[in-house]
Each structure stands twice: as C-alpha cells, then as structure tokens.
Structure 1
Amino acid sequence: MTQVTVKDLAQTVNTPVELLLQQMKEAGLAHTKASDAVNDAEKQKLLAHLRAAPGDKSGDGKKITLQRKTTTTLRAPGSKTISVEVRKKRTYVKRSAEEIAAEEAVAKPAAAPVAEPVVQESTANIVQEAEQRRIEAVEQARLAKEAEAKAAREKAEEQARQAQEAAPAPVAAPVVEQPAAERTERKKEESRRSTRREDDDRRDRKPAAQRPQGRKISLRDGDEDGGRRGRGGRNRNKRRNEHGFQTPAGPIVREVQIGETITVADLAAQMSVKGGEVVKFMFKLGTPVTINQVLDQDTAMLVAEEMGHKVKLISDDILEEQLAESLKMEGESFQRAPVVTVMGHVDHGKTSLLDYIRRAKVATGEAGGITQHIGAYHVKTEGGMITFLDTPGHAAFTAMRARGAKATDIVILVVAADDGVMPQTIEGIQHAKAAGVPIIVAVNKIDKPEADPDRIKNDLAQHDVIPEEWGGDTQFVHVSAKQGTGIDELLEAVLLQSEVLELTAIPSASGRGVVIESRLDKGRGPVASILVQNGTLHQGDMVLVGVNFGRVRAMLDENGKPIQEAGPSIPVEILGLDGTPEAGDEMTVVADERKAREIALFRQGKFREVKLARASAGKLENIFESMGQEEKKVLNVVIKADVRGTLEALQSSLTELGNDEVEVRVVAGGVGGITESDANLALASNAVIFGFNVRADAGARKIVETESLEMRYYNIIYDIIEDVKKALTGMLGSDLREQIIGVAEVRDVFRSPKIGAIAGCMVIEGTVLRSRPIRVLRDDVVIFEGELESLRRYKDDVSEVRHGMECGIGVKSYNDVKVGDKIEVFEKIEVARTL
C-alpha cells in the first residue's frame, strides 16, 4: 500500500496544505500536520467526502474564489514576438440549505447517465471533476431560482393589471402612472435576461462528461479549458476575438520564383522569412553562406523546397521578355540627327577628314598617326546636327568596324584617289551592306597630281558600289581633307540621305543606346562611351548595360564637359557602372536597382554557362584532334589595354596567329593598368605581359623584376603583332634539309689487298667532298649509305674533286661497288621555319 504525506498530496492536487487539512478534518480524518502519512484508503474517504459535499467549507463557508493566469508566446510573421497573458477570476457564493436541495434535485438527472469509473483515478483528476460538478450544480440552481422569481413577478403583474381594470377611472390615473413605467423597464430587463439564458442553454446542452477536457490556450477561445468556461468568460472572449488577430491554422506555403541565380536575401523575401533563417538553414546543410551571396538555381530550389514552399523556375527568356515589355517607347516622335560612321583603309584620310570638319587636331594625338579607338563626335552644321563615328582602319579592328556599322545610319567610305581600293575598303563595304546602311563615297586626296577618281569608280563598281551618274544609288563626293575641298558638298550629301531615311526618335521616352567603347580610369573607375539612340538619358538614371549595371553618377560630352542629359544621337561618357561593358552592348534605362541587378546576374549566369560549355567542347575537340600528334608549342600572353575595343582587337588578332605546331593563348585580358595580380598570373602560367597604352604599378614591377618576367609596352598595334610573329617563328625552330653537293659515276673498279675495292669515278655533278656523307645508287635506287674512306686523285689524297675530273673513291665498310653505280655526296643544313 503506497503512502504519501499531506504535503505531497497537496502539491499533487495543486491545493494549499491548510485547505487540504481542513477538508481532511471535515471528512473525519485525523491528519493535523503536513508530514502526516496518507494511504490509499484515506484518499478514497477524502474523495467520497468531496463528491458528497460540493462547494468549499473553508474560510467563512460562504464563498470560494478561483484565479487563473496563463501566459503564452506568439510569433507573428515579419514582426517581434508577442507575449499574451490571460487572467481570470471567479467568485462563487454558497447557497442556503433549501437552494442546495433544489440544486441537487436538478443535478441528479444530468449526472445519472454518468457511471462511476471502475478504475482508480488519480487524486488530481478527482478534485477537478468534483469542482466541475459543483460549478454545474450552482449554475443550474441559479437558473431554477430565476425561473421561480420570473413566475412570481408575472403573477404580481397580472394581479396589478386586474386591479387597474376594476378601479374607477379618475382615481386609477395617478395610481397607475408610476407602476406602468416600472413595468416597462422590468420587461426590457427581462427580455435581455431571457436572451442570455437561451444562449447559455444552447451552449450547455451537452452533458459535462462529454465536454472536452484540458484544452490548450488559443486566441480563438481565449480560455485555458474549453470545457470549464463560465458564461461571462465565453461572452467576453467572443466579443474580444471579433476584432483580434488569429493564429494561422497551418504553415503558409508560398510560390517562390527562381531564375538562373538568386541572392539569399531575395530568396528569403519571397518566402516571407528573415534572411538569417535561410543562412541558418544552409549552415545546417553544410553550406556556409552570407545574406548577399548568390545561389545557383539548383541550390535555391533545394532550400525553398526543404523549407516547405513551392518552386517556380523562371525560363531563360522570361526576364528579358519582362524587360522588353517595360521598355516600350511611347511618346511623340521627332526628327533626330543622323549617325555617320567613317570607314576606309589605313592612311586614306578618315581622321583627317573628321579633323577638318571638327576644326580640331585629332590625328596628331593618335599614336602612329592612326586611330586606335572608335571616336564619337557630334558637330553642328548649317543644315543641322550630325554625329560622326570614326573607326580604325587596321585589319585587327574588324570587329570594331562591324559594331560601328550596326550603330550607324550612314557610312562614309573614304578612298584615297592616289591609292585605290584596298582590303579594308572592301571590308567596310561588306560591313555596310551586311548592316543595310547606305554608303556615301568620299574620294579623298583629290588634290594630289597622281589622283585618278575614275579608277576609283571602276574599282568600286566591281564591288557593287555604283555611282549615281552611272545609274546607281551611291553618291560620290571628291574631297581634300588637307585643303577642305568638297567638305560642304559631303555634309549636304549626308543631310540629304538622312532626309530620305526619315530618321525619328522619341525624346520623352527612357534612354536607350549602344556602347561605343569602355575603359577603366584609375581615378573615376569604369567609364563607358554611350551613343544614345532613342529617348533621353539623364544623370541619376539606373542603367543596364549588357552584364553590367549601375547608376549614372556623371555624364560627360566628347570634350570632357559635364552635362545633365543626352538626347537621341548624342554620344556621352557615363560613370557609375560596376564594370567595363563590352563594346556593342545595349544600354537601357530600368526602373529600379533591384530589377537591374536581377537581369545583370541572370545574364552573367548565362554568359558563364556558355563560356564553360564552349571551353568543355573545345577541350574535347582538342583531345580528339591531338590524338596521335605531337603537343603544340604555346605562347601564353597576358594583355592589358586602355579600352575594351582595343583589347578585343588584340585578342582576336593574336589568337589567329600560329599554325598546327605553335599557337598564342591569351591567358587573361583586361582594361586598365598592369596590376600585381596580373604579374602573379603571368608568373604562374609562364606568360608574357603586353601593355597597350597602359603601364604597370609598383607591385607589378617588383614581381616582374624579381622573377625576371617578360613585359613589354606598346602603343601601335602593328608592333605587337610583329613581335608575336617573331616569337612564334623562334618557337618553330628549324628544319634539317638535305642538299646534294656532287655526284660521281663509277667507270671501273680496282681491287687493293690493303684497302679493298676502289672505284674509279668521274665527277659528273657538283663537287665530291671527302668529309661529307655519301650514298651509293644503283639504277637510281639507294643501296648503301655511309661515308668515304679515301679520296685520291692519282696517288695523292685530296679533300675534294670538282666537276669533270677523275678520282678514286674508297667506300668505307662497303666493297660491292660495280661499274655504272653512282656515288652521291650530300650534306644536311638547317633552314629556319616561318609562319
């Protein structure tokens, strides 16, 4: 038989020790101290007493007060934690003996169906059940008393009404006035009470034994035990929750859109969670990340699904389509200035022509007297404004000329009247025709005595450039860039052609354009030359340029003066991008930085995938091609240039050099000065460093000097290409070639006991030298290869025998020489190889 102390039992039933001792005394138990032992039989006796006498006998015996306080913590999405504390206090008054008898009579039918539990219950559950039954009995007794009072009031009202009807009219008037008002007020109060009772009856129809026990706190209920709420508590909670927030019934599943890449912060925002939760989750997966780190599509999809959300993968083109839809050009159209590109062969006078038009010395500032970059200028003429693009004429700048043709409206093809049509002239024609741009031919150097304009027309007609006087559609203008002859006629031809094209733009729209050139300035960072093609570009606009983006911090015109905006056909330099874009990239103004970053990262991911795919394919192709072949000799180079266009031209030209045995591999290329990292990369890859119009910093120079690296500076593209050619030629080495020096024919054979067979010969070709190797030919077939043992003329040993002279030849280690054989004397020489 298990025994516990009174103190332990009080803690178990959550009752004060003094109250429990009082209840045990009333039950007839002899316990007086907290340390007294209580056995199972005494527990059952105490339980029977509590069941038989509901209510509390402690204190004054008239009332009992119950207090409850429950605290819970809620976490609302996107906000701080909220602590909710529910406090309830109820006081029950003890009724008289008659009321208790009536309560028991009412409670018996309700409690009859409830059978006594067969199994032994714990003391805590028994006390709780007794308390519940007591509360129900008190409530039912109260309802019965209110019913009796109601009946009594109705009976009294009926008697008063009958008395009023029987009384005389004059006397009854002052007597009935006051009871009528009181009766009206009583009827209103009774109606309110009746409504409350009906609501309580509907809620309390279930027997107590069928009500749920031990429910947890909920904001929806506002009580800690749904089966033991009082009428007042229910009504108060109901009214309170009409305007309160509700806890979600389950986790909210959101649709997360994931593109090629996404940052941790953006992923968390789409899932409506804090970024720190995503970081913590990825730490658990074994992948430490930061909140600004970019995740690939597979990783982001795994994280979102593991955190209980749906994933929607964005296709490769959906972002570009959304960008195109948001960049619709709307507004009134106006005529814009034409964009003219000047093309032609090297030293045919392109830059000199622009120099005369702009009244500035541009050609004198170019290294070597040639244009290394695409230059953009806009000039105002009497007929209107014209924007000029000057492209280099060297063969290495084919890509730059192609971009110039795509960004232009009209092409001026400059041809020197004394030189004629050259390779770059033909190339310019091809680019203009591929872009569908009209051509105006400027026949330059017309002032020279050896100029022949008619020959120029004949040569260009062979390439489908037909003059207007010959029935074609191409205007030919004779000009002299030095003397200014024909310049006005050339500008009139450009303006006439632009009128025919009907060039228009929408200045009120957002700016759109193309990158002409880009470079990395040491003090200002990335600088991009932009030709605005439509709309207006303002300082402060957020722009997307290829895989780069940024806010326009400053804008400069071609003279370096700051401007606030640039309209259609205006070339400007912008500062504020996060990198140097590729020449030819499209520039667009976007609404916000987040959209620009998203599309830029998306494009970078696609570019990286394409680059890796090409690299993998190239490796596989190289593996298959190199099977059974000797390994190629490779010249590794690191190129740094001043602008992006020159860098591309150099990379393209150098990689085209080489053959099946040697090649040039551009390990790295970039815009800006030569840095310490460039020098370390050249050291690791055993590469040569080329700087084009840039210089190395102190850290790079120190590494170059310490490690004896090869570093060269250039400012003319011809020089760097020629030096690389020489280096590749040296890597080829030389070939060993055989050269026949002389041939002797055997006329007779003599036998010597000491030497053996001696061939009597006549030199029929060249000179026979004793120190050279020989071959013995019989019927023009080589039968022996070796060297001479002796060469005599008569009895003297000689070193050589010339053509037409006789001699005796002894062949070393060979005695089967016969009449008619030929002895061929040859030597091996090294011949340098070239590309």
Structure 2
Amino acid sequence: MSQQTTIRKLAELVNTPVDTLLEQLANAGMKFSGPDQVVTSAEKVKLLGFLRRSHGKTEEAPSADAGAAKKITLARRKVQEVTVDSNKGGRGKTTVNVEVRQKRSIPRSPGGSAKMTPAEERADILRKLEESRQRNLEEQRMLAEKDRMRDEARERERAEAEAARQRVEDEKRAAQAAAEEAARAPAPVSAPAPALAASREASPPARAARPSAPAPAAAPARKPAGGAAGADDRNRSGRGGRDDAGSRFGGQLHLSAADRNRRGPSSNAPGRGRPGAKGPAGRRGFDNRSSNNSNSGPHGFERPTAPVVREVAIGETITVADLAQKLALKGGEVVKALFKMGVMATINQSIDHDTAALVTEELGHKAVRASSDDAEDALLALVDTDQGEATPRPPVVTIMGHVDHGKTSLLDYIRRTKIATGEAGGITQHIGAYHVQTPKGVISFLDTPGHAAFTSMRARGAKLTDVVVIVVAADDGVMPQTKEAIQHARAANAPIVVAINKIDKSSADPMRVKSELLTEQVVAEEFGGDVQMIEISAKTGQGIDDLLDAISLQAEVLELKAVTEGRASGVVIESSLDKGRGPVATVLVQAGTLKKGDYLVCGVQYGRVRALFDETGAQPDEAGPSIPVQVLGLSGVPDAGDDFVVVEDERLAKEVAQQREIKRRESRLVASAGSRMEDIMAQLGKGEGQQVLNLVIKADVQGSVQALSQALVALSNEEIRIDVIRSGVGGITESDANSAVAAKATVIGFNVRADAAARKIIESNGVDLRYFSIIYDVIDQVKQVASGLLGVEIREEIIGIAQVRDVFRSSKFGAVAGCMVIEGVVKRSKPIRVLRDSVVVFEGELESLRRFKENVDEVRNGTECGIGVKAYNDVKPGDQIECFERIEVARKL
C-alpha cells in the first residue's frame, strides 16, 4: 500500500464509531491499544471474515492469496468498409473491409458489491493506465510496421517497373541491331528475314494503329527469347509479365494474385487503373499503378521542417495589405504586430520603409529595399550623357529688399515700362522674370516680393541667381526684410550689390544706410569691404548706369558659363492657370536650349512645348541659358521651384512624372497614417480645447498660394489651429465650394473670383467668402476670424481697497467695519474679498456701505466709511477689503 490506514481512518471509511470498531477487532482476536494504530490488509481481511461469520454466512472470507477476483469480460466487434482510389486519376477504386475487435476485462470483488479501499482504487487506476499505454504503444508499433511494409511494397513495385522498362528497352535495342544485321547480310527472296519481321513486330506505332490485329506469322521467331524473359520476370517478381508481343505500351499488364489482393477485387476491371489501355493511355495507367495514390511520391505535399524565411522587397512606402501579401500572412496579423510596436495603422494605410522593415524582421523575415526608379535612372543617364562645351552666358540678377523700397520701380526704369502702376497696392505679389538688352549686354532680372510673407519665394529667387541686388531706401534705412534678403543671399553664396535708392529725396541719408549695413556685416568698398554700394534714384534715373556697370563687373569676375547645345534644363520660377491658355509656367533655362516642340518633364507634370513667350509677349522659337520664358503645353500647373528637363520622347516624360506623383502621394499617406500611441495619447491629453479654422485658398499664381499657406498656417498656436484643407491656382470652382461646405471652411480668393456655380453653393450654404489683392490684408483678416473663434475670456480687475481701522458691533447689522479707502473706489454692487496678511480669508459681497448714517453706492479713495460684510462677522482691525469686478476681454492671436 502506498499509504498506511489507521483505525480512525478505517472507521470513517466504513462509517462506524471508533469504539465499535475497536470492540469488533478485539472480538476478532486482534488487540489494539488506540485508534491511531495502523491496520494491515491481512487484519482487515481477518476482521471481514469474523463479521461474515457473526452474521450467519458460511462461505469463507477471501484471503489475500485466495486468488484473483472474478472478472467480467466484454468483447466488441466492429466492421466497416473503406473505399480508396487505386490510381492517381481517381477512376479505379478499391473497397477494403476493416474489422476492429476489442476485448476488455473488468475485475469484480467476490461479494459483487464490496468497496475497495482508496489505496486499492489508486492501484487499480494505475494498472488500467499502464494497460492503456501499452495498448497505445502496440497500436503505434503496428501502424509503423504497416507503413514500413507499404513503403517496401511501393519500392518493390517501382523497382519492378523500372526493371520491366529496362528489359523492354534492351529487347528493342537488340531487335534493332538484329534488323540492321539482317539488312547488311544477303537474305533469300522466298522467305522474309526473321529479324526484319521481328523489328516490324516490335514497332509501337504499328501496334498502336492496329490494336486488335492478330500477331504476324513471324512472331514465333521472337518467342523463345521473349518468352524466356517473361518467364524469368514472373519467377523473380511474382507478377504477370508482358503479353505475347512483349511490348510495354501495347500489351496487357497482368497482376499477380498478391497484387490483386492488395489492390482490391475491382482493380483489374477496365476503367480502374486502365491496365489494358494501349499507346500513351496505357503508359499513363502503368505509371499511376506504380504510384498507388500516395502523398509520399514526388508530387505529394510535404510539411515544411523549418520556418520559411522570405526576402521581402519594400520601397519607400507600402500599404499594410501589400506587405501582408508579400509575407504570406493575414492582414490582421501584420496590423497586430504594428500595434505591438506602437504604430496604429489600418490595413489600407501606408507605412514608411523603416516601419515596414522593422515589422518584417519582427515577423521573422528579411526586408530589402526595392528600387522602382527605372525612369528616373534613365532620365539621369540621359542628362549625364548630354554634356557639351560651356560658353559664356548672361548673368541672372535678383532684386531684393524691403517692401516699398523701389525694387520694381528700378526695373521699370531699366526696361522703360510701367510695371509698378499695375501692381495691387503698389507692391509686387509674385516673382517677375525679365531679360533686357542694356549697353553692358543682356541681363536677366528676377523681381521678388518684399513682404515678410514671401520669405520662401525670395529664398527660391536666391537659389537660382548669380548676383543679388539689395535695394535699400535712403530715407528708410535697413528694415527686417532687408536683413532677410542679406541672409538668403549669403545662404546661396551669391555676391551682393547694394542699391541705395531714393537719394533724390530731401530726407535721404546714404551714410546712415551704410552704417546700418555694417551691423549686418555688409561692408562697403569705401570702408575697406568687398560690397559695391551704388546711390541711385529709380525715379530720375540717377546712378542707373553705375549700377549696370557694377553688375557687369561682378559677372565678369564670376566668369559665368553654361552649355548651350543639347537638351535644356532649368527651374520653374512661377506658374499659373490661364483660362484661355491652360497651365502656364515661367521657367528660367539654366543649360541647353529650350525649343518649341520639345518634350519636357517638370516635377510631377509633363508635356510638349506648344509655345514660348517672352516678357514682351513675343513668341521666340527657342530660349538659351539665363533666359526666362513662359511655357505652354504642360499637363498641369507645376510647383514653383520644380526643376524641368527636356527628354527625347513623351513616353519617358510620362513615366518619370507618374513615378514622382506616386512617391508624392505615398509620402502624403505616410504623413497622415500610422499614428503612434504616444501622439494619440498626447492628443487625448489636450482634450477639445483647441479650436480649428479651416481655409480654402485660391490664387492667381502658384507662388502666392505657397506663400499664403505658409504665412497663415504659421499663425496657429496652442489655442487655435489653422488648416489649409484645399489650395490651388485659378478661379474658385464648384469643387472648391463643396469642400468648404463639407469642412465649414472660409474661402479666400487672392486675385481670383468664384464662378456662377461656386457662388450659388456658397450663397445657399452661407460659406464665408473673402476676396483679397494684398497679402497683409489676408493675414490681418484671418487673425480677426481666428480671434472670433477664440471667444472672450473673463478677467478680474481690482477697482478699490479699504483698510479696516476698527470693528463695531450692532444688534441690527452685526459686525460693522470702520474703514478707510486707501486705493481706488469701493462700490456696493461689486463683489469683495477680505484679506488678512495678504491672504484671502473670505470672498463674498457687501451687505451695507455707509457714509456716516447714510447708505451710499460708492466711496472713493481717502474717504472713511462703514462696511458690513454679508454672512461674515469675523472682520478684524488691520484687514483689507478688496473690491473687484469681472470683465470680458476678447481673445486675440
């Protein structure tokens, strides 16, 4: 027994008092001193026999060695039929009878109903478990033995089939050799050559054409060799050999008795395995029979023994669905892996390359960077091979400076036209590009805006310029935009020429300008520096020739050169959408020659040059280096600052533009998708306190759109966020109006107007539409609109303070404080606070305010009064009573 049984436990088990059980044991001849003594199995059996005899039963009590208890044996027999395919084609099927026999013996105690002790029950359970384990092991061994025997049978079949095929080939070669030998030897005319007849008989096409024809008379000549081989085959393999013709393809394949028993009763019937088929069909049936419908053959499925590691090609961006497809996983598994990494993205969102590579490695695969820039590579190769000899080119001069310092007036005098009078508010709203013929040669001028909002436009002008002319008004001095112009010129490593304008005014002070420029590290030549400073007047023309001389001298020092021959390339200065001409781009050619009819790709746009226009409206046939022109024929409006390149055909231009558009779209998707948990928690922490002002911006040129968007978005702060949900070049369309209605946005038209359909939608939905022509008016009004969204805030303003000098007790009013107003005015209708040692001890309102015996509404500074504080009687001398009022103040950006 695995555990000992005491008398106390035995009494609990048989539900008998301990004293009674001790008495029964004593009567049975077993003396025990206490209930905690151990009772052995023999003593239990002896006690059982005594109790049986005392109850009148004469049969002997079973002893420990009397023999095994009686058993109940259950036998079960189960028969079922299993149908399996006998070949790969599924045409032949075999029915197998499977009989399962089970036999189980259940031991029974002699009394039939006697209970076993817990130890005996546990031993019986362990025995049954061991028997079950042994039966399982035996069944597994038998199954393994059956599998081994089946595999051996298949290998034998394959070997026999291969041996039969080899014999047929050997006999065929022997027959061919005999035929050739007979052809070389002289043969009698009266009788056909046996070898030749055997060769004709062994030809498979002849037998396939005549499957039912009787064997030729010459067949017995081959029979001794073929018959001997067939008999030998049957003796070795126990299978039926070839037919009388000895052919592999044309003859009947006979199965031995062992084969028929193994394959089933119907495996030899026509249509099941097709053993009697002729020609190629017979060959198919022969091969299927050898495979025996097994998954372990060469075409069967084999479970992978190791995890499959895939090499996934990932571009700059990829959607979660595409990544899951490349990984051969479900989309939900990739989303779950991204979530564990802290990236929340749906299956249709895009993720960048780094995130995709991390999740790929996390899932056990290898990530490689995919390159899809075939068109870009072809474009770069085309540009690199198209290099010629460089020749001198005109300088590109950018005019910069503060607003209203005379930049456009200077160009106006040089070109002898009136440009400034046509500008809104007298300022330039977009970049102007001109090339003029001066006595010093051809010079290309770029006129950039001077307002602070066009910082990015000035930066674009500085990047493509050779010389920067900074115009400073002699009567105004150095201003903030002047300093920004100097910084842009230095960032572009362009030499600076300072034009001190408006010297014809009485308030002009050129020396002050030069002194202020010293603080910006711009040192004039007369002060020992390297910057030329020319005093001019754009109104009278004074000093203009000296300025042109300075520009020409600086250009000679730079030795400007460019390749004139070959395909053109350059930069887009400005772009717009003309109602009659379509997309129009102002470009500056930097290398090569741009001709009418050329195919070019410009950013994400492409097209063929339909026409070229210069600043006078003329249509030149071509434009060389440093010459700005307007180009018609693009597929859309390009962004200002995009590069353009002339290509050989439209196909390459379209491919490059499409690839760039795909990259730009994927970049936008990545920017808006896959938010990290930290960002989401930060947004949740902010709550809903931040207001949002949505804007739709339409302008006449692309540069103005970019400048407006950047200037207005920069107004955002923690309390209000300004979003530009839609922007573009051209008039306000119906689509723009619908977008504004959906987002509850304000529509801003800069030098453009809304069409009839858009006006109808705007009026019917109450959309806020505003037209502008000056940039700073837009900024001021957007600030007003944003301030209206912010609402008002409540501020507290202290209007008076009274010092408590003494406290009087009144049966009618309670404690009354005698006070002196030391600051401002105390009003009865305003709330008050009681301060003790500069700490607020009570906040409430006045119950009474008296001057002598009269009630008054207010008491001014330096006047005594009596104050009764409502619901507060603990006022002490030395306290201060502070009177204040709450006012509403409009919030501003």
**Contact 2:208–2:250 (8 Å) recurs in 1:** no
Change (3 A) 1:212 1:338: farther
- Aligned AA for 1:361? K
Quote the Cα distance in structure 2 between the aligned partners of 1:296 and 1:752. 79
Partner of 1:323: 379
- Give 1:621 deviation, angstroms: 7.2
Number of corresponding residues? 579
Change (3 A) 1:111 1:610: closer
- Aligned AA for 1:128? R
Change (3 A) 1:779 1:130: closer
**Contact 1:345–1:425 (8 Å) recurs in 2:** yes
- Aligned AA for 1:813? A
Indicate the SS of the match to 1:484. Answer: coil
**Contact 1:348–1:414 (8 Å) recurs in 2:** yes
Q: Deviations over 1:341-374 (max 9, x none)?
A: 1111111110000000101101111111100111
- Within 5 Å, give how 1:411-430 maps onto structure 2: 411-430=468-487
Partner of 1:440: 497
Quote the Cα distance in structure 1 between the aligned partners of 2:654 and 2:433. 29
Asked whether 1:787 is paired with 2:845, we answer yes
- Give 1:132 deviation, angstroms: 10
**Contact 2:208–2:279 (8 Å) recurs in 1:** no
Quote the Cα distance in structure 1 between the aligned partners of 2:517 and 2:209. 114
**Contact 2:351–2:674 (8 Å) recurs in 1:** no
- Aligned AA for 2:590? Q
- Within 5 Å, give how 1:34-113 maps onto structure 2: 102-103=191-192
- Aligned AA for 1:325? A
- Within 5 Å, give how 1:396-795 maps onto structure 2: 396-616=453-673, 623-630=680-687, 631-795=689-853
Asked whether 1:796 is paired with 2:854, we answer yes
Change (3 A) 1:105 1:130: farther
Give the alignment partner of residue 210 of structure 2, picking from 128, 134, 159. 128
Quote the Cα distance in structure 1 between the aligned partners of 2:547 and 2:445. 13
Q: Which TM-score applies when normalising by structure 2?
A: 0.60
Change (3 A) 1:621 1:552: farther
Change (3 A) 1:574 1:774: same
Partner of 1:169: none
Quote the Cα distance in structure 2 between the aligned partners of 1:136 and 1:225. 22
**Contact 2:388–2:563 (8 Å) recurs in 1:** yes
- Give 1:750 deviation, angstroms: 2.8
**Contact 1:261–1:605 (8 Å) recurs in 2:** no
Give the alignment partner of residue 815 of structure 1, picking from 859, 863, 873. 873
**Contact 1:261–1:601 (8 Å) recurs in 2:** no
**Contact 1:260–1:602 (8 Å) recurs in 2:** no
- Give 1:684 deviation, angstroms: 0.3
Quote the Cα distance in structure 2 between the aligned partners of 1:318 and 1:112. 64
Percent identity, aligned pairs only, is 58
Give the alignment partner of residue 433 of structure 2, picking from 352, 358, 376. 376
Change (3 A) 1:111 1:436: closer
- Give 1:466 deviation, angstroms: 1.7
- Within 5 Å, give how 1:253-268 maps onto structure 2: none
Change (3 A) 1:126 1:351: closer
- Give 1:479 deviation, angstroms: 1.0
Quote the Cα distance in structure 2 between the aligned partners of 1:519 and 1:533. 21
- Give 1:646 deviation, angstroms: 0.4
- Give 1:824 deviation, angstroms: 2.0
- Give 1:440 deviation, angstroms: 1.1
Indicate the SS of the match to 1:737. Answer: strand
Quote the Cα distance in structure 1 between the aligned partners of 2:209 and 2:778. 101
- Aligned AA for 1:445? K
- Aligned AA for 1:709? V
Quote the Cα distance in structure 1 between the aligned partners of 2:682 and 2:795. 28
- Aligned AA for 2:735? S
Change (3 A) 1:213 1:594: farther
- Give 1:114 deviation, angstroms: 11
Indicate the SS of the match to 1:596. Answer: helix
Quote the Cα distance in structure 2 between the aligned partners of 1:432 and 1:360. 27
Change (3 A) 1:212 1:405: farther
Change (3 A) 1:335 1:747: closer
Quote the Cα distance in structure 1 between the aligned partners of 2:693 and 2:639. 25
Change (3 A) 1:457 1:620: farther
Give the alignment partner of residue 356 of structure 1, picking from 413, 420, 434. 413
- Give 1:101 deviation, angstroms: 6.3
Quote the Cα distance in structure 2 between the aligned partners of 1:341 and 1:702. 44
Q: Deviations over 1:636-662 (max 9, x none)?
A: 110000000000000010011132111
Q: Deviations over 1:525-546 (max 9, x none)?
A: 1111111111001111110111
Asked whether 1:834 is paired with 2:892, we answer yes
Quote the Cα distance in structure 1 between the aligned partners of 2:704 and 2:832. 57
Q: Deviations over 1:555-577 (max 9, x none)?
A: 11122222221111111111111
Partner of 1:251: none
Q: Which runs of 5+ in 2 are unaligned?
A: 1-186, 220-243, 252-277, 282-312, 319-349, 354-367
Q: Which runs of 5+ in 1 are unaligned?
A: 1-97, 116-123, 138-206, 215-223, 228-256, 263-294, 299-311
Give the alignment partner of residue 390 of structure 1, picking from 447, 451, 461. 447
Partner of 1:254: none
Change (3 A) 1:621 1:334: farther
- Give 1:587 deviation, angstroms: 0.7
- Give 1:449 deviation, angstroms: 1.6
Change (3 A) 1:494 1:787: same
**Contact 1:638–1:666 (8 Å) recurs in 2:** yes
Taking only aligned residues, the RMSD between alpha carbons, in angstroms, comes to 3.4
- Aligned AA for 1:799? D
- Aligned AA for 1:102? A
**Contact 1:114–1:209 (8 Å) recurs in 2:** no
- Give 1:826 deviation, angstroms: 1.6
Stretch of structure 1 that moved more, 424-433 or 556-565: 556-565
Q: Which TM-score applies when normalising by structure 1?
A: 0.65
Q: Deviations over 1:40-70 (max 9, x none)?
A: xxxxxxxxxxxxxxxxxxxxxxxxxxxxxxx
- Give 1:129 deviation, angstroms: 3.8
Change (3 A) 1:619 1:796: farther
Partner of 2:346: none
- Give 1:830 deviation, angstroms: 1.9
Indicate the SS of the match to 2:868. Answer: strand
- Within 5 Å, give how 1:295-306 maps onto structure 2: none
**Contact 2:375–2:652 (8 Å) recurs in 1:** no
**Contact 2:198–2:218 (8 Å) recurs in 1:** no
- Aligned AA for 1:699? A
Indicate the SS of the match to 2:403. Answer: coil
**Contact 2:351–2:673 (8 Å) recurs in 1:** no
- Give 1:416 deviation, angstroms: 1.0
**Contact 2:317–2:670 (8 Å) recurs in 1:** no
